[in-house]
Amino acid sequence: MSKEIKNNLSESLKKLEQISAWFDEQEEIDLEKGLLKVKEGAKLIKESRAQLKNIENEFEEIKAEMEER
């Protein structure tokens, strides 16, 4: 797994945790800010899924190489 993918995934997860914490801390949620946070979270989740798929593909390639030997 490339270090860049790992860092991006770690950063995305940290940002998602921050978004979740923001919602937990609000007594009254500003709907406009909340909507922006939800959109940001959705984008991060989509990107994270793509990164995880890339990681999965790398593992499958390695597995295939090992089975050929």
62: pLDDT confidence band, cut at 50, 70 and 90? very high
Question: Structural domain tally of the chain?
Answer: 1
- pLDDT tens per residue across span 3-55: 666 668 999 999 999 999 999 999 999 999 999 999 999 999 999 999 999 99
pLDDT, average across residues 47-65: 93
Tens of pLDDT, residues 32-45: 999 999 999 999 99
DSSP string, the chain: --HHHHHHHHHHHHHHHHHHHHHHH-SS--HHHHHHHHHHHHHHHHHHHHHHHHHHHHHHHHHHHHHH-
Domain that includes residue 50, residue range: 3-68
